[in-house]
Structure 1
Amino acid sequence: MAEFVQQHLEELLDVFTALRKTKYFTVSEVKSVIERVRQFDYSINKRTKRPKDFLKYAEYLEDVVELIHKRRIIRQSNKPKDNLEDPLRKHIAHLYRICADRFRKVEYFKKEIAFLRKTHQNRLCSMAYTRLLQVYLCLCLLQAVFNVDSFQFHGNDPKNHAEAGLWEFFDNKSAENARTIFQYAIRKFKQDVGLRVAFVQMEAGFLNVMHERRLMLAAMKDTTDEQNAILMSMEGVNDAVFEGKLIELVVSDALEALEENKGEFLLKAYLELRKYGSIVEKATEFVVEQFETVENVKEEKKIVEIIQDWPQEFNMLDAYLEAAKKVKTPRMYRLTAEVAKKEFESTADDRAKSVLIAQLEKLHKLGEAEQSDYDWLSANLDATDEATANVFSAMLENTPTNASMWEKVLSYHVNKHIDDAKSTDSEKVMALFDDALEKVHNDESLPIWRLLIDFTINKFPAAVVDAAFKRALLQTRDVVHAEIKEIRLNYIKTAYPNDMEKYEDEYKNLARTRPTSIHMHLDYAATVSDPEKKNQIFDNLVAEHGKSVTAWLEYGRALMVAQPNSLSRLYMRALSNLDPAEKDHFNEEWTLMIRSDPSLEA
């Protein structure tokens, strides 16, 4: 191992020497870099290889390269570039390649490709994409023989092919490589719309490049024989290319192969071609004509008709909204909702949110809303206004057991009622709580009980609050019941800060029956100073939660202060109660706890 490490250091020796001579780094900094590189080299040459060692090494060298760049700007901005970073960049690329090839996870290939693209190492990047897209013919055989799913064949993801094809053309300037990737990919993923659109994008870009090249050659006064030959070939043989025939072939092949989503493909293809204006005019016209030959695409057709006369820059949501006014179909509402959702997720725009809610409300009324719509709404939006609350309330008809949606509706009505001192809708709000608690499953009801208790505390006398707690304790069970007890004890402590006897009686009453939460015991123990009483509280805790590492550690912390001599006995009790799988974790945490007190460690 030492020989490999020394060899790697010698390979970078010129860089370390140059760093010192150029004074980008001080002598001590160079020594520090060498030592860190040595440590990283040892870590990646261990018998047991770990991906994080390779990644940390590469990331450290990237930081060194960035620091060199910044210091060059500060100290040597007017001198010629010395390319100190090149050997380091090659070494970083080598580390990423080893990591990706050895551990074969897509995230490692992505890291390698991202670095190579950032540093414009196109040859290596092209090779990295090729490795990423490798598809093994023995895939089925391997999975059948070894009966595992750990083999990652990243060539089975069409997005990787689309990304590689677009990079090959737009960044690596290789139309041949790009076409090879796309032609293989569309045979493998015939139904992938994104891949087909990317192929159209590539061919449109190719036509644009050819057009610019012809204009440039035609404008030159003095041309070589080779340039004249190129110009003549462009005027003759490639007329079909300039008329967009390659794009038409790609579009025709897609429409023939796609079994569904043809409207989506035509719309996205049109939007890509629209960017190039008159250069791809004939190809754009061809795409528009296809709307007449394909069925069930009237929604996308209307969108295209609307935006044909619009400026190059426009808001896509506006186009969908305008189309939805003229084509009032569930599919149009769905398409508009999807666009609004994407815009809301990327910008958190209130207008997009309003449009999304409006479209989903229309789908709900038509009976076309899906469970995923309700789930997304409850997970991503709050009922901050009456319109949203009404939509949630309406959708609860279809998902009456959705606890998250109930919580949002109830939060809106509770906040509205509390903010309005003159409101007389208490009975209506309580009726909503009754309805929610009747329909929501016990395991998901805790947020609703919290809201109910907070509401009664804010709006009603203590007797009503006590009744709400009593109801909660009677109707809940398991974890929710334990959490309600914790809330109850905290309420007593806050409501009666000067009556510790009442607080103690409440704890004893709640702790008498199970289940209880760990934090209920810990919160009460924090208020008790008597060692014997505190021990009794912790005994109650571990009697119920003897499988919890947290319970035993908290008991240990209490003994460290009051009875350190009892720690060894408690330790043995903990080991006899904990599950075997938890014992290693417990031992680690216990050791850290003991070491926090030097007197105990001694």
Structure 2
Amino acid sequence: MAEFVQRNLEETLPELEQIERVGLFSREEVKSIIKKRSGLEYRLNRLKNEREDFLKYIEFEKNLLKLIKKRRKKINYFFKTSEIEHAIVVRIQKLYRRLCTLYPSDLTLWLTHIRFLREWNRLGRMSQLITKLLKMNSRVPGLWILAAKTQLEYNHNPDDARRLLLRAIRHHPKSQKIWTEYFRMELLHAYKLNQRMAILQQSQMTLEGDETSLLKGELAGVVYKKAVEAIPDDIPFRLLFAKISQDFDFAKHITDEIYKDLQTTHPEKEQTWDALARRPLTLLTKVADETQIWKTEQACHKIYQDGLEKTPSVGMWNLFIGFLHERLLLGGSRDTSDQRLKLLLSTLEEASNHVELSEENFQLWMDAHVNCGQIDEAVAIAEKATTSHVRSAAMWEMHLRLVMRKFSPDEADSAGAADQICNLFDQAVSNVKSKHALSIWNVGLDWCLLYDRDRVEVIFEAACKEHRNVAIPFKECYLEFVAINRGLKKMRKVYRKLKVDKPVSVEFFKRKIFLERTQPEANTSKLREAYEDALREYGSNQPDLWLEYINMESSLKQLSSLQNVKQLHWRAKAALEGIHVEEFISGYTLLQLSL
């Protein structure tokens, strides 16, 4: 092994001599480079080669190249690049080749190698490497695109790029990415031809018919037609071609053809009308003022309305409403924003008369009225929403909040307001599944805490009998509420009642322990009772509970407490399961060190 390492190090001597001679590195720095390379070479020449060893060597050589570049700028010396940088680049290429040979299925390594060759302008070698990679991984569409892009952008060979993409299509006839990139490539080629012709305009050149069609991007139009033949019923796929062709001024006729074809082949599709309606906005210039923008939006509205006449579906209304909401969020002058808001509200109302609005659209409708200060109108819409989506917790919650908001603080204290809220709350919890109704119970509790405190405990007791999703968090809150408002004795009574009424969470017991410990004189027996109750339910998977209990006993500094600590330690190791035993032992060790 040593002879191979020595041979490889001797091959680096010419470049190191040049580096030292021209003053890029000192003798000590050169020795350091040799020492580092020696260590890396020995790692590469072991019986079992590791990927990380190659990557470390490559990273070292790349960093050396960066340092050489900085030193050249510092001393203003830019000669001998073929003797210095070229030798290092060749060495990195060899390392990459060995690495890719050892791990041929790792595309990341291949692509990193290609990127390195591109950075150092090794285009010939890069093309060879991509060709080799394609032979090994022809099933990856992105590699075909990479190969074609290399031929077009770096080798300036559109014919080879076209051949590669045609081969890719034969391998992947349903790949949308390949079809769109082929379309883009043809347009880019036509763009470059147009640029060349612009330079030669002063000459008396005449164009043949084929050349004129190339300049207009007719080949791209052919690609589009073949693509939709291969993938006929995908509207977003067709719109990708339109989005690409919009970036080229000379391809406007292709964009028009795409939209016309879309309207001819899929006139009943909602996505078709959405694309046609949004198109006028893409034709706006960057310097368009608000008046022009609003006129353009009105043209979009007209197309949406035409679409609704032919396709009056829920999806079509949703697309129209979504478009109006997007435009409203853009802001602008007050007049324009008011016009957009007015149109959105009228459209939502019209849509509700024809189809059933989604929860999102009802929410949008209510929010729009609330932002305008029209609470009564928002409440009326909330009634429609809860009628239309009677099982929706979000709609009932919004309905409750709006009705509460309708009353002023003075009105909220009245019996009529309380009765109206309670009746609406009862309707909500009876219609919404209990496991989804937590937000509704929270709204009811908030109301009672503010305006009807006599019903607070009624709410808590009713909620504790609901589904676990409601009962568990409400039991925790109930304890704290009673402790603050009714005293410790009442809290303990409520705790004894709730703990036997399953389910109870570990946080419920921790809340009880916290409330006991916050007293001026903590009751040790009550704390032990709470810990024992918690461990009875969760002792098999909560090492933290055992550690807290042990810590509490240790802090008492009594003989009986020390005996309890030993018993608790033994019980914990017997009760805990799996990985929780190790967690407990680690925590217990740290606890003993801190005491």
* Amino acid aligned to 1:574: A
Q: Does residue 299 of structure 1 match 2:273?
A: yes
Counterpart-to-counterpart distance in 1, 2:5 and 2:456:
71
Q: How many residues are matched?
A: 535
Counterpart-to-counterpart distance in 2, 1:357 and 1:486:
43
Identity of aligned residues (%): 17
* Amino acid aligned to 1:280: A
Report the equivalent of 1:272.
Answer: 244
Q: Does residue 208 of structure 1 match 2:191?
A: yes
Paired residues of 2:151 and 2:158 also in contact (CA < 8 A): yes
Paired residues of 1:165 and 1:179 also in contact (CA < 8 A): yes
1:453 Cα deviation after fit: 1.3
* Amino acid aligned to 2:435: D
Report the equivalent of 2:492.
Answer: 504
Report the equivalent of 1:472.
Answer: 463
1:554 Cα deviation after fit: 3.9
Report the equivalent of 2:304.
Answer: 324
Change in 2 beyond 3 A, CA 1:326/1:492: same
1:310-459 equivalences under 5 Å are: 310-311=284-285, 318=297, 320-321=300-301, 323-328=303-308, 329=311, 330=313, 332-336=316-320, 366-367=354-355, 374=359, 384=367, 386=369, 394=384, 396-397=386-387, 399-411=389-401, 413-414=403-404, 416=405, 422-423=411-412, 425-459=417-451
Counterpart-to-counterpart distance in 2, 1:11 and 1:464:
89
* Amino acid aligned to 2:267: N
* Amino acid aligned to 1:555: Y
* Amino acid aligned to 2:455: V
Counterpart-to-counterpart distance in 1, 2:148 and 2:76:
39
1:127-138 equivalences under 5 Å are: none
Counterpart-to-counterpart distance in 2, 1:267 and 1:554:
62
Report the equivalent of 1:244.
Answer: 217
1:457 Cα deviation after fit: 0.7
Unmatched 5+ stretches in structure 2: 372-377
1:95-106 equivalences under 5 Å are: none
* Amino acid aligned to 1:544: E
Paired residue secondary structure (1:464): helix
**More deviation in 568-577 or 349-358?**
349-358
Counterpart-to-counterpart distance in 1, 2:401 and 2:344:
21
Report the equivalent of 2:475.
Answer: 485
Report the equivalent of 2:539.
Answer: 546
Counterpart-to-counterpart distance in 2, 1:417 and 1:350:
28
Report the equivalent of 2:374.
Answer: none
* Amino acid aligned to 1:458: L
* Amino acid aligned to 1:303: A
Change in 2 beyond 3 A, CA 1:94/1:340: farther
TM-score by length of 1: 0.64
Change in 2 beyond 3 A, CA 1:287/1:532: closer
Report the equivalent of 1:535.
Answer: 528
Change in 2 beyond 3 A, CA 1:413/1:573: farther
Paired residue secondary structure (1:515): coil
Q: Deviations over 1:448-483 (max 9, x none)?
A: 22222122112212x211111122123x14353222
Unmatched 5+ stretches in structure 1: 138-152, 222-230
Q: Deviations over 1:108-166 (max 9, x none)?
A: 689969987996889699899889989979xxxxxxxxxxxxxxx7x3xx788778867
Paired residue secondary structure (1:327): helix
* Amino acid aligned to 2:228: L
Paired residues of 1:129 and 1:164 also in contact (CA < 8 A): yes
Counterpart-to-counterpart distance in 2, 1:478 and 1:77:
75
* Amino acid aligned to 1:488: Y
Counterpart-to-counterpart distance in 2, 1:164 and 1:566:
74
Q: Does residue 523 of structure 1 match 2:517?
A: no
Change in 2 beyond 3 A, CA 1:543/1:284: closer
1:387 Cα deviation after fit: 6.0
* Amino acid aligned to 2:579: D
Change in 2 beyond 3 A, CA 1:422/1:492: same
2:590 maps to which of 571, 585, 595: 595
Counterpart-to-counterpart distance in 1, 2:101 and 2:410:
64
Counterpart-to-counterpart distance in 1, 2:10 and 2:424:
75
Counterpart-to-counterpart distance in 2, 1:501 and 1:168:
84
RMSD: 6.2
* Amino acid aligned to 1:543: R
Counterpart-to-counterpart distance in 2, 1:491 and 1:418:
26
Paired residues of 1:400 and 1:440 also in contact (CA < 8 A): yes
* Amino acid aligned to 2:265: V
Paired residues of 1:109 and 1:132 also in contact (CA < 8 A): no
1:438 Cα deviation after fit: 1.7
1:186 Cα deviation after fit: 4.9
Counterpart-to-counterpart distance in 2, 1:565 and 1:99:
67
Paired residue secondary structure (2:233): coil
* Amino acid aligned to 1:210: L
Paired residue secondary structure (2:464): helix
Q: Deviations over 1:68-92 (max 9, x none)?
A: 79x959x95988699999879969x
Change in 2 beyond 3 A, CA 1:484/1:179: farther
Counterpart-to-counterpart distance in 1, 2:143 and 2:407:
53
Q: Deviations over 1:391-436 (max 9, x none)?
A: 776555554333345445545555x358755457544443333233
Report the equivalent of 1:290.
Answer: 261
**More deviation in 5-14 or 199-208?**
5-14
* Amino acid aligned to 1:250: V
Counterpart-to-counterpart distance in 1, 2:394 and 2:422:
18
Q: Does residue 199 of structure 1 match 2:182?
A: yes
1:540 Cα deviation after fit: 0.3
Report the equivalent of 1:145.
Answer: none
Paired residues of 2:540 and 2:575 also in contact (CA < 8 A): yes
Counterpart-to-counterpart distance in 2, 1:524 and 1:5:
70
Paired residues of 1:334 and 1:359 also in contact (CA < 8 A): no
Change in 2 beyond 3 A, CA 1:327/1:514: closer
Report the equivalent of 2:375.
Answer: none
Paired residues of 2:345 and 2:365 also in contact (CA < 8 A): no
Paired residues of 1:453 and 1:465 also in contact (CA < 8 A): yes
Counterpart-to-counterpart distance in 2, 1:451 and 1:100:
64
Counterpart-to-counterpart distance in 2, 1:417 and 1:4:
87
1:338 Cα deviation after fit: 6.4
Paired residues of 2:460 and 2:478 also in contact (CA < 8 A): yes
* Amino acid aligned to 2:434: N
Counterpart-to-counterpart distance in 1, 2:366 and 2:113:
43
* Amino acid aligned to 2:246: R
Change in 2 beyond 3 A, CA 1:489/1:291: closer
Counterpart-to-counterpart distance in 2, 1:168 and 1:392:
61
Paired residue secondary structure (1:570): helix
Counterpart-to-counterpart distance in 1, 2:383 and 2:349:
11
Change in 2 beyond 3 A, CA 1:472/1:286: closer
Paired residues of 1:556 and 1:567 also in contact (CA < 8 A): yes
* Amino acid aligned to 1:485: K
* Amino acid aligned to 2:422: M
1:8 Cα deviation after fit: 12
Structure ID, larger Rg? 2
Q: Deviations over 1:263-318 (max 9, x none)?
A: x55554334323221x3355445445535743417626843874586437888994
Paired residues of 1:449 and 1:472 also in contact (CA < 8 A): yes
